Amino acid sequence: MSKQLETTPKQDGFRMPAEHEPQSGIWMAWPERTDNWRFGGKPAQATFVDVAKAISKNTKVTMVVSAGQYENARSMLPEEVQLLEMSTDDSWMRDIGPSYVVNDNGERRGVDWHFNAWGGLEDGLYFPWDKDDAVARKVCEALGDESYRAPVVLEGGSIHVDGEGTLYTTEECLLHPSRNPDLSKQQIEETLKTYLSVEKIIWIPNGLYNDETNGHVDNLIHVVAPGEVVLTWCDDEADPQYEISRKALDVLSTETDAKGRQIKVHKLPMPGPLYISESEASGVDVSDGMERVPGERLAGSYANYLVSNKHVIYPLLDHECDAEVGVLLQQLYPGYAITGVDAREILLGGGNIHCITQQIPAL
């Protein structure tokens, strides 16, 4: 039976694997929230289908969907995508799904974080969020995996690990007063070390400019390999991202990882800057939490890609950089398939390909 355990992953000898380690599946959630996705989520649904198809080439995809959208999703998705009815509040599986940990005996378990819609009543994007908070446990139960309920508010997109003891995050997100205001930086570090079996936390000051998640690390950097990352880079001194990227580079180039390695940083061009158009904003229902107005700057980033079984699925966001980024990724991931998916519709909802996917390690 897939029960929730009273112990911790560290006690039990489980660690969070890196994204480039073998996976048995990718989970996603079907978009339909009308105050986040324009025109009832129809354009976003088409893009989610494109992402699911791309991932399916190498990895099994499971899409969770509400009862009301089940038939629609089934008609749009290829038959190799497994469809599972499950209620959610929105569709950011990275943040609502479980973070998986594994041990040396080939076993896996889920870590179920508390979720409060990126900030709760103080700063959150919607209310209620109880369906989202229940997703991680449901995923573990569906897969027959035991899980741990971690005693902190955390989203999967706010952390990256290298699988060898190093975790990357941003101070902007994890130390934000809307997450765990009663915990000190040191207490948050201890919790991460206990529940993911990491040894060192590398704190980058801020995430991408105007990111409504309070600066998730997965929209700024990605871990290529242990001791090697890509960083979203901006050369325009007048752009607010210019200073943010430089401060991140300062930290990454002066810190060593858990194994004492100097971190190699590759600069990933920033798309745009990109903004919501008049017609894009007109299709979204008004909401309290989310800014979907014409001229709002989008937190666009090529770092928000997924790595799954020797396959990189990255967002196409800007005709001027898309091809260059594809070439760079091919150099960084020799022997991997590199697939670009037109992902502006996901960006309009506030994230990208990494944000809408959650990997399940192979047994």
pLDDT of residue 1: 53
Question: What whole-number distance in Å separates Cα of residue 136 and Cα of residue 126?
Answer: 18
pTM above 0.85, yes or no: yes
Angle at 101 between CA 144 and CA 17, to 5 degrees: 130
Active site residues: 355
Q: Which H or E element spans position 140?
A: helix 130-143
pLDDT of residue 199: 98
pLDDT of residue 291: 76
From first to last of its 363 residues, the chain has per-residue pLDDT tens of: 578 999 999 999 999 999 999 999 999 999 999 999 999 999 999 999 999 999 999 999 999 999 999 999 999 999 999 999 999 999 999 999 999 999 999 999 999 999 999 999 999 999 999 999 999 999 999 999 999 999 999 999 999 999 999 999 999 999 999 999 999 999 999 999 999 999 999 999 999 999 999 999 999 999 999 999 999 999 999 999 999 999 999 999 999 999 999 999 999 999 999 999 999 998 888 877 777 889 999 999 999 999 999 999 999 999 999 999 999 999 999 999 999 999 999 999 999 999 999 999 999
Total number of domains in the chain:
1
What dihedral do alpha carbons 93, 27, 99, 260 form, nearest 10°?
Answer: -100
- Straight-line distance from the first to the last Cα atom of the chain, in angstroms, rounded to the nearest whole number: 17
- Print the domain residue range for 82: 4-361
CB-based contacts of 213: which residues, under 8 Å, 6+ apart? 95, 118, 155, 157, 158, 173, 207, 219, 350, 351
pLDDT of residue 293: 87
CATH number, domain containing residue 144: 3.75.10.10
Q: Tell me if 275 sits within 8 A of 298, measured CB to CB.
A: yes
pLDDT of residue 290: 78
The phi, psi pair for 33, rounded to 5°, reads: -70, 120
Is the peptide bond prior to 273 cis by the omega test (within 30 degrees of 0)?
Answer: yes
pLDDT of residue 287: 79
> Residue 147's beta-bridge partner residues?
4, 110
Q: Which H or E element spans position 75?
A: helix 70-76
Beta strands 147-153 and 108-114: pairing type? parallel
Question: What whole-number distance in Å separates Cα of residue 301 and Cα of residue 161?
Answer: 19
